[in-house]
């Protein structure tokens, strides 16, 4: 397994080892003991999510859950290809408002660890793309929120994505008050 830092402190790319043979491959997509042996102790996960987006150019984001329901997410692409984006939303952070994007695909097997306190979104780069991700807090509809995808200068590679009504109407980052007041509050 490989663990790589990104330009955002705390956001990591984790790539499990794939054991390949003539049938295909086998990989341990999640193994707490292996990560801890590599010096990475992630919080406990309590919920797994799975969504399918039928068309390329589908954008879901930028989403968060406010404290005390803030979610850390370990994201991977089970089928297809997507561009996954994390934005630091912690007002106390030197990276506040900064973003990174990573291509996750069934081919590259990469995973993105996004700690609580970050906005999360992705845009699909292939039809019938499936995302699966582990969350450190349960879904809480009342603390679920969003920021407009096109209000942070993120280069999504699309100009007219397929969006939910919620995402189309989300507030711009500049007009939004983050609920994450410091790293400890995330």
Ligand X SMILES: Cc1cn([C@H]2C[C@H](O)[C@@H](COP(=O)(O)OP(=O)(O)O[C@H]3O[C@H](C)C(=O)[C@H](O)[C@H]3O)O2)c(=O)[nH]c1=O
Contact footprint for ligand X (CB under 6 A): 49, 51, 60-61, 63, 73, 120-122, 139, 164
Of the pair 120, 125, the CB lying nearest ligand X is at 120
Residue 9 CA to residue 84 CA, distance in Å, equals: 16
Q: Which of 64, 83, 133, 148 is catalytic?
A: 133
Nearest distance from C-beta of residue 101 to ligand X, angstroms: 13
Closer Cβ to ligand X, 1 or 144, answer by number: 144
The answer, yes or no, to whether the previous bond of 62 is cis (omega within 30 of 0) is yes
CB of 97 to ligand X, least distance (A): 18
Q: How far is the CB of 49 from ligand X (least distance, A)?
A: 5
Q: Which of 19, 63, 120, 148 is catalytic?
A: 63
Closer residue to ligand X in complex, CB, 1/132 = 132
Query: How far is 125 from 85, CA to CA, in rounded Å?
Result: 13
CB 111 within 8 A of CB 74: yes
Burial of 103 from C-beta contacts in 10 A (0-12 / 13-18 / 19+): middle
Any catalytic annotation for residue 64? no
Nearer to ligand X, 18 or 166 (CB): 166
* CA–CA distance, 16 with 30 (Å, rounded to integer): 8
Min dist. Cβ of residue 181 to ligand X (A): 21
Q: Answer yes or no: are the C-beta atoms of 186 and 90 closer than 8 Å.
A: yes
Phi, psi of 38 (to 5 degrees): -90, 5
Place of tokens 């096109």: 150
Q: What is the DSSP letter of 162?
A: B
Q: Which helix (H) or strand (E) holds 59?
A: strand 59-65
Active site residues: 63, 133
């Amino acid at each position: 397994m490989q663990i790589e830092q990104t330009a955002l402190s705390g956001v990591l790319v984790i790539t499990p080892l794939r054991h390949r043979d003539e049938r295909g491959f086998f990989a341990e997509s999640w193994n707490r003991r292996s990560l801890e042996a590599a010096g990475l102790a992630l919080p406990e996960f309590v919920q797994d999510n799975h969504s399918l987006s039928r068309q390329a150019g589908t954008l879901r984001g930028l989403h968060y859950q406010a404290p005390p329901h803030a979610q850390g997410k370990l994201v991977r692409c089970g089928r297809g290809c997507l561009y996954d984006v994390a934005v630091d939303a912690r007002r106390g952070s030197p990276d506040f408002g900064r973003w990174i994007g990573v291509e996750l695909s069934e081919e590259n097997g990469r995973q993105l660890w996004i700690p609580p306190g970050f906005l999360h979104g992705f845009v699909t780069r292939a039809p019938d793309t499936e995302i699966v991700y582990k969350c450190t807090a349960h879904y809480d509809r009342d603390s679920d929120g969003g920021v407009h995808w096109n209000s942070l200068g993120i280069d999504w590679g699309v100009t007219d994505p397929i969006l939910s009504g919620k995402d189309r109407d989300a507030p711009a980052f500049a007009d939004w008050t983050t609920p994450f007041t410091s790293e400890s509050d995330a």
